[in-house]
């Protein structure tokens, strides 16, 4: 092999290795650690999470290939949304997700786990996770992937094909909410002004008196009865 060819091969190998290292799921770079990021999922266990209104993680949520998976093959006995043990206020959250064909799920923020609320979506706004083309909800405005569910339609749809990983970033800070999908800002609003109240009044949540009122609460991964995967769940306080 010629010297130039050897050098080229070594450079390509180094580039591939660097890219792989950079994209290793469920890890933090030195820069992220220094700036205050921490993992909410270690890639190996369900530590830090529980099923809605339960002290444990029920059977449907498993760890599979380094991801938190809602597994429909487990039946319905162990069903329920997955809830962070901690509550968060003023944060930047990053989550990778992929959905099964025809699947539906979502990520709630600021959910209140209280006996008077049957589900996390009674209080927490949802960033939609869905197969846009395969699930019936994908035909409904404000119900598509990266929409702020039933409130704000995303400004664009930079969502990857079903079965591929997407990265959603949610920034909730002192009433301001921004949502980025695969690096593109798709939603921006406030959650403490008259416009927010008007959005709720014109949504399916209009008869839920406490919906969207909280700026602190749990992060919830929705059980919508379909296989879905989440990984690289990390958060930074602001």
Reported as a single tens digit per residue, the pLDDT across 87-114 is 999 999 999 999 999 999 999 999 999 9
Q: What distance in Å separates the CA atoms of residue 88 and residue 202, rounded to the nearest whole number?
A: 27
pLDDT number for residue 198: 98
- Predicted model pTM: 0.90
User: What does CATH list as the number for 36-237?
Assistant: 2.60.120.560
- Are 80 and 51 in contact by the 8 Å Cβ rule? The answer is yes
Report the chain's mean pLDDT, rounded to a whole number: 92
Domains of the chain, residue spans: 1-25, 36-237
Q: How far is CA 227 from the centre of its chain?
A: 14
Q: What distance in Å separates the CA atoms of residue 183 and residue 187, rounded to the nearest whole number?
A: 12
Q: What distance in Å separates the CA atoms of residue 141 and residue 119, rounded to the nearest whole number?
A: 23
Mean pLDDT of 3-15: 45
Q: Poorest-confidence range of 8-12, 186-190, 229-233?
A: 8-12
pLDDT number for residue 14: 43
φ, ψ for residue 34, nearest 5 deg: -65, -35
């Amino acid at each position: 092999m010629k010297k130039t060819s050897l050098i080229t091969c070594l450079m390509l190998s180094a580039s591939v290795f660097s890219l792989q290292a950079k994209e290793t799921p469920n890890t933090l770079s030195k820069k992220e650690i220094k700036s205050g990021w921490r993992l909410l999922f270690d890639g190996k266990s369900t530590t830090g999470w529980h099923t809605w209104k339960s002290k444990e993680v029920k059977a449907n949520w498993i760890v599979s290939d380094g991801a938190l998976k809602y597994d429909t093959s487990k039946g319905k006995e162990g069903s329920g949304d997955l809830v962070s043990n901690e509550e968060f206020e003023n944060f930047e959250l990053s989550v990778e997700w992929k959905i099964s064909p025809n699947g539906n799920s979502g990520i709630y923020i600021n959910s209140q786990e209280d006996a008077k609320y049957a589900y996390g979506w009674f209080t927490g706004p949802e960033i939609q996770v869905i197969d846009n083309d395969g699930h019936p909800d994908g035909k409904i405005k404000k119900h598509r992937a990266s929409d702020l569910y039933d409130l704000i339609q995303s400004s664009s749809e930079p969502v990857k094909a079903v079965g591929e990983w997407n990265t959603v970033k949610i920034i909730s800070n002192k009433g301001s909410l921004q949502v980025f999908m695969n690096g593109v800002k798709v939603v921006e609003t406030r959650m403490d002004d008259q416009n927010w109240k008007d959005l709720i009044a014109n949504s399916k949540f209009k008869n839920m008196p406490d919906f969207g009122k909280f700026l602190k609460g749990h992060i919830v991964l929705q059980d919508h009865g379909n296989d879905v995967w989440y990984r690289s769940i990390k958060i930074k306080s602001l």
